[in-house]
Amino acid sequence: MTVLIKTDWNHEWELARGGKRQPDTPEFWNTKAERCHKNGHALLDIYDPYIREFINYAALLPGESVLDIGCGPGIMAIPLAERGHRVTAVDFSHRMLGMLFRQAYAKEGLDIIPILADWRDNWETAGIEPADVALASRSVAAVDLESAILKLNTWARRRVCISTAAGGSPGFDRVLAKELGRHICAHSNFAYCMNILFAMDVRAELRFIDSPKHERWETRAAAEAAIRHNAGKLSAAEEQRFERYLRRHLVQLQDEDGRNVWQRDYVRIVEWAFIAWDKDV
Ligand X SMILES: C[S@@+](CC[C@H](N)C(=O)[O-])C[C@H]1O[C@@H](n2cnc3c(N)ncnc32)[C@H](O)[C@@H]1O
Contact residues for ligand X, defined by CB under 6 A = 23-24, 29, 70-72, 75, 91-93, 96, 118-120, 137-139, 142-143
User: Which residue has the CB atom at the shortest distance from ligand X?
Assistant: 72
Looking at the Cβ atoms of 151 and 182, the one nearer to ligand X is 151
Three-state secondary structure call for residue 161: strand
User: Is 54 buried (19+), middle (13-18) or exposed (0-12) by CB count in 10 A?
Assistant: buried
> Please, are residues 160 and 276 in contact by the beta-carbon 8 Å criterion?
yes
Enumerate the H helices of 110-235 as residue ranges: 145-155, 174-180, 189-199, 220-231
Least Cβ distance, residue 261 to ligand X (angstroms): 26
Looking at the Cβ atoms of 121 and 224, the one nearer to ligand X is 121
Least Cβ distance, residue 143 to ligand X (angstroms): 6
Looking at the Cβ atoms of 127 and 181, the one nearer to ligand X is 127
Looking at the Cβ atoms of 49 and 181, the one nearer to ligand X is 49
Looking at the Cβ atoms of 121 and 179, the one nearer to ligand X is 121
| Residues ≥6 apart with Cβ < 8 Å to 226 | 215, 217
Looking at the Cβ atoms of 75 and 156, the one nearer to ligand X is 75
Least Cβ distance, residue 35 to ligand X (angstroms): 13
Least Cβ distance, residue 107 to ligand X (angstroms): 17
261 vs 245, 254, 270, CA distance in Å? 18, 6, 21
Least Cβ distance, residue 278 to ligand X (angstroms): 21
Least Cβ distance, residue 251 to ligand X (angstroms): 30
d(CA 23, CA 66): 25
> Please, are residues 123 and 150 in contact by the beta-carbon 8 Å criterion?
no
> Please, are residues 245 and 176 in contact by the beta-carbon 8 Å criterion?
yes
Enumerate the H helices of the chain as residue ranges: 3-6, 9-16, 26-38, 49-58, 77-82, 94-107, 145-155, 174-180, 189-199, 220-231, 236-249
